[in-house]
Chain A
Amino acid sequence: MPVVTTACPRNCYSTCAMKVTVEGGRITALDAHPGNRATPEGPCLKGLSYVERIYHPDRILHPLRRCASGGFEQVSWDEALDLMVERLGPLRSEPQSLLHYNGSGTKGLLNGCSMAFWRLFGGCTTTYGDLCWPAGLEATRLTLGDNLHNAPWDLANARLLVFWGKNAAETNLHQMRFVDQAVEAGASCVVIDPRRTPTAEKADLFLQPRPGTDGALALALGHLLVREGGVDEAFVNEHVKGFEAYAERVAAWTPTRAAEVCGVPEAQIRELARRMASIRPMTIVPGFGMQRYTNAGQTFRALLALAVITGNLGLSGGGWQYANLATQVFSPVRDPLDFFPPEKPDGVVRVSVSTARLGQDMLAQQDPPLRAAWVERGNPLSQNPDTNRVREAFRRLAFRVVVEERLTDTAKEADLVLPAKTFFEQTDVIGAYWHGYLQLRPKVIEPPGEVKPETEILWALGQRLGIDETTLRTVLPEPGEAGVEAWLNRRLAPLGLVLDDLREGPVPAPGMPEVAWADRRFSTPSGKVEIWSDEAAARWGVDPVADFREPEEWASEPDQLHLLTPNTKNSIHSQFHMLPSLRGLGAEHAIFLHPEDAEARGLRHGDRVRIFNSRGELVLPLRLDFGLRRGVVVAYNGFGEEDGGSVNRLSLGRETDLGHGAAFHDCWVKVEGVRP
């Protein structure tokens, strides 16, 4: 039985290496690949469910065209291509009326081909910003110059771990091994989260602040560290810009004041400050969710300052583990800079739609207005903020093409659905954002049915549109594996690598650090760690030093609750959780409420409840969560219409203060019972 090395390309920290067993052209098993030191025990439950996923009866295996009755009919590729030529061809005279939207559904170097193709088409409109993590990336970039951190396994050397808003047990399971190794060796683990997450079970100190107030908590910790001798003065004097201004800022943030703002006991703040001052090395591990507020960039700068002033940078076991972009070696510009709209438009691709405000901005486009959309690797109708608005904007278009594996909320709105490959069906190379490995995900099986990889779809479309092969070859690999391999080898060549180097297992990206910033040379304008950032003020109009403001959306009525929409172990956004073998493993689509908040509304466990605000509503069963902070309501991200509707019916399209991120969690709702 052939066993092939591959890697999971989901938008996930872990990006596991795996061994795939193929029998008679079918994948029959997936197992651990020890070559990835970050994931040696193998993939999580989602990775293990790929066999079920790729052979699932609901998978789309043929082009589907919307018919007059509203449903879909299977059509041949010829018919699908004819339809695209008929509907998209005329747009070449005004190409910016076509929206090109791609999400983060699959990693791979070939993803870049699509935009190159649409340039060849004549241009298009596309999005800027990112749904996921820009506020944190930008806060880190402004402070340190780049997003790098210690190798994942180095966390085992930390003596103090601060998991701040990160629920690694569900979103980065493989990190828990290193947490276990650290705590089994006697380290202290602090978890800060309004929810009692599975990660919180590792904590020997657990703080549950009011959502959106973490910046105040961080400033108060800074206050105590400055006051009570927790500052690494040698490090600060030599490597930090702006300490005096910072000290002045935190002077006003007494723990008493923060305890009031954050709703946590002052004693807990003091205890955490005491540990930060006395235990070294400390690693702060912030999550993504916490940087999805309108004040999140400044919040992150405040958090990161704690690792800075305690001198926990450039040492084993210490640091700030937010994002590790060591594998972004294929383009000169790293995230988050490449999310930003270009300073000068090139006249071909109009970068004018904020991903965070997709619905509003699509509707607002003029000269030309949007008439068609091409969507790949994304499901904006359940995953972007304010999905009711996004749906309205999509319905306003004349023609929509969606490349998908199954009928997602977005695909259901399409005029034409094209069957998407899975990562087992075309070779590609992927990076990561937690560990620093480049990994090959080779073609393992033939695409089932009439599935075609995106590059081949675009090649065929280009031919139909009359673009000659020589020109197509400048932006796309030639159809077939040989073409893909040649294309990838050209991308790898500047790094001194060829595909064959990656076949046996993961390869560290050139320059992947074991300990980030070990040389204490920071790529900021001043060469120092900038807790005073002129660029922050100039580019984003925020205070050059981290400050705390309440998020824009804040309770205005007493019975409002703060809605959090976290991810669970069973899904990567809207992928996986529908598979039968995962359905029985928790994470149901429900409303989670503290028992006393439920009681105050006359609600009981199991009741049908309506959760609503001015943007939309959901009706779901109520579950009591005794471990939740009062005043917070939780519904999980990722579910779609078939399960009762996406949580993003309730969120508002609104950008974060830094980085053009999406402030999903600036979101308040009311909850009431539904009469049966």
Chain B
Amino acid sequence: MSWQFTFDPNRCTGCGACVVGCRLEHGERQTQAWRRIHTFNPMRHPALPLFHLSLACHHCEDPACLRACPADAYTQDPATGAVVIHPERCMGCRFCTWACPHDAPKFSASTGTIEKCTFCDQRLAEGLEPACVARCPVEALGLETRGPVEERNHAQAGLPPSALRPAIRFVPHRDRLPERPSAKGLNRFLDQVLAWPEAKITLRGEWALLLFTLTLQALAAWWVAMAAGGPEVRPLPFLTAGAVALALSAAHLGHPERAWRAVLNVRTSWLSREVLLVSAFLGLGATVLLLPLPEALRNPAVRIGAILGFTSLWAVDRLYRVALKAKPWNLHSARVLLGGHVLLGVLAGLPILIWGAGGLKLALYVARKVHFARAGRNPRWALSALRVAVGFLSPALLLDQPWLAAAALMAGDLVDRAEYYDELETDSPDRRMVLAILEKR
């Protein structure tokens, strides 16, 4: 029998007994709270009601964490519906924390792995309610057998919308006060108190991935340029850069020694697919560059390598789609497949790519800046001007020296993609709470 949580925001006082009760149950396995209280209107704006959501993992029917995990560290118990992380299988890539809009998986710096709510599967097996449910003093949290998803009231403010079918049913919140003052005069103070959640993806935290993805963009473009009749790929720089890129991507893991697990979930994880494609590309590259292959084998291998190179760039771009971007469209100037095409144009001397892909990239970059300026975020005009001068103008002027132009192009892309990591954000209940206040004030 599968279970679902029930939650009544009309009853919850935000006391936190569920959080403490969870810790009491899981003790040392828990290095941080698995269940958290998310408060709507914590500043107590008189125009708005105030309520809390006590949220942990919703044990989704279509769990994003499990689909995203490249290491096959998650399982879903068909009997209870519990989505369980197995820390001994986790390599600590944190991709699930990007993928889950409910903020359920928590990365522990001390263990280097993910930890999260277990649905108290041991207790369920003994016929007991989860600890948080059993220990809620006001009967706001409950447990029931899983019902139809459309009856779970997922329009609740604070619950990120998704197609994951979270196993939690909300009792609709009713504002008990018949009329509220508009108190518009207080809106001017909101900026001081609105607490946006801390970003899970930051440039500081992901510099290794920044370097990895840009190196891959350069290597793939170089290889494809060779396949298109451009400059030969030289083994030493290509293989050194490839090895460094792989090492960097492994180094950012909580458990680098488990990096091999990254290919265990090709069936659903874009990260697994990316790792597999990148490995195939670099592996084939090494084979072609190091082994004296006969011409009849080498030429098709180079062409297959080219396909693998750009396919892996596509996989890189694809996997970042689990995160939201601060701009409303998915096609953006920092995509490595786009950057790869511009670079290919420069290296192979293909004007249509230089001006077509390059022009598109410039247009997307400018559009992104304008969007930020309009949205009230700092567009960093000086940095942007530098990025355009280095990354667009100088390559255009240096086309007769492809290597210099390519270097300038990559320098520009370094800025572009660094900004991109800074802009990436993930969905979360706290983000939805702030958005709901901004919408309703």
Contact = CB atoms under 8 A, between A and B. Distances in A.
A42 B19 contact: no
A604 B44 CA distance: 16
A586 B17 contact: no
Contact of B138 (A41, A52, A204, A606): A41
Given A45-B19, A595-B189, A627-B46, A169 B176 contact: no
Interface string B1-33: 000000000110111110111011100000001
Contacts of A394: none
B137 A43 contact: yes
B138 A173 contact: yes
B24 A51 contact: yes
Secondary structure of the B contact surface, majority rule = loop
B134 interface: yes
Contacts of B45: 626-627
Given A173-B137, A626-B46, A606 B16 contact: no
Contact of A196 (B21, B44, B51, B193): B44
Interface in B131-158: 134-139
Contacts of B366: none
Interface residues on B, range: 35 or more
B49 interface: yes
Interface in A171-191: 173-174, 176-177, 180, 183, 189
Contacts of B192: 595, 604-606, 624
A206 interface: yes
A44 B15 contact: yes
A582 interface: yes
B176 A45 contact: no
Interface string B50-68: 1100000000000000000
A584 interface: yes
A586 B14 contact: yes
Contacts, number: 128
Determine which residue in A51, A202, A584, A627 has the highest number of CB atoms from chain B within 10 A of its CB, and name it. A627
A92 B193 CA distance: 60
Interface string B182-213: 01011001001100000000000000000000
A342 to B, nearest CB: 41
A32 B135 contact: yes
Nearest to A39: B137
A48 interface: yes
Nearest to B190: A626
B177 interface: yes
B176 A595 contact: no
A582 B20 CA distance: 8
B37 interface: yes
B367 interface: no
Determine which residue in A45, A173, A196, A596 has the highest number of CB atoms from chain B within 10 A of its CB, and name it. A45
A624 B14 CA distance: 19
B43 interface: yes
B436 to A, nearest CB: 16
Contacts of A44: 15, 17, 137
Interface of A: 29-32, 39, 41-45, 48-49, 51-52, 169-170, 173-174, 176-177, 180, 183, 189, 196, 198-199, 201-206, 569, 581-582, 584-586, 595-596, 599, 604-606, 624-628
Interface of B: 10-11, 13-17, 19-21, 23-25, 33, 37, 43-46, 49-51, 134-139, 176-178, 183, 185-186, 189, 192-193
Given A45-B16, A48-B21, A205-B177, 12 more contacts: A31-B135, A44-B15, A44-B137, A45-B19, A45-B20, A173-B137, A176-B13, A201-B50, A581-B19, A624-B193, A626-B44, A626-B45
Q: What 6 pairs between A and B have smallest CB-CB spacing?
A: A627-B44, A585-B16, A605-B192, A595-B189, A169-B13, A45-B17
